[in-house]
Amino acid sequence: MTEKHLSSQFDNELSGISTRVLEMGGLVESQVAMAIDALTHFNGEIASQVLTHEERVNAMEMAIDADLSAIIARRQPTARDLRLLIAISKTIGNLERVGDEAARVARTVQRLINTGVSSRLRLPVSDVSFEAGLATASLRKSLDAFARLDTTTALEVIKADNEIDAEFDGLMRKLITYMMEDPRTISASIDLVFVAKAIERVGDHAKNLAEQVIYIVKGTDVRHNTPEAVESIIK
């Protein structure tokens, strides 16, 4: 994914780190899917597996970050390579936070199970799953954009964030209605509010990853820009 450098060893180091970033991304993507599966089926065992993966994700972030610091100190990279390394550092930070959100969902599932909430209680779990599907798809596309340094795919992720936000807003309205109609759902509904917010943040982190791809390729920080403005930048 990088241009050839005078040092083939440097090339190998960059390639190796990029591969590990994608491995970390695959792991957190799996975490999110497992967390939603645990919620859908009220499965405490799957929730526990999500929390186990969190430790591995945290360790990967620290290891990659340490290697990035070592490369910067040892190689004194040029502007473009330094931009890549900085973007990778921000990328793994966002991936670690995605893992945190998945762990937050898993802990909520454990709490719901421990408090005896029945999976038959009328709650919009399927709506949460739909929102999670959108967020996971964005995360997958952002990782694909990173692997190929594809700004077009990155832009698609940025545009999709509005859809995830709209789904979150709709879910909030539905949960409020559930609580008003059936007071028995209040406690569990509040838990689902936090789950839905965690998933919405996964979408935000996917968007952040996409913005880093554009930063690597174009050298322009597109954070806080509208999708239309970003599109004009990558053309």
What confidence tens digit (pLDDT) does each residue in 89-118 have? 999 999 999 999 999 999 999 988 888 765
Whether the Cβ atoms of residue 105 and residue 49 lie closer than 8 Å to each other: no
List Cα–Cα distances, 97 to 6, 57, 73, 103, 113, in angstroms. Answer: 35, 10, 26, 10, 24
Task: Please write the tens of the pLDDT for every residue from 3-61.
Answer: 454 467 877 888 899 999 999 999 999 999 999 999 888 899 999 999 999 999 999 99
Calculate the average pLDDT of the chain: 89
Cα–Cα distance, 82 to 50 (Å, whole number): 33
Cα–Cα distance, 65 to 100 (Å, whole number): 17
Q: Which residue stretches of the chain are H helix? A: 8-41, 44-75, 79-114, 125-148, 151-181, 186-218, 227-234
Q: Which residues contact 175 (CB under 8 A, 6 or more apart)?
A: 124, 189, 192, 193, 196
Q: Which residue stretches of 115-185 are H helix? A: 125-148, 151-181
Whether the Cβ atoms of residue 192 and residue 132 lie closer than 8 Å to each other: no
206: nearest Cα among 127, 153, 168: 153
Mean pLDDT score, 138-158: 95
> Quick one: pLDDT at residue 119?
55
Task: Please write the tens of the pLDDT for every residue from 86-95.
Answer: 999 999 999 9
Cα–Cα distance, 81 to 7 (Å, whole number): 12
> Quick one: pLDDT at residue 127?
85
What is the model's pTM?
Answer: 0.90
Q: Is residue 70's pLDDT more than 60? A: yes
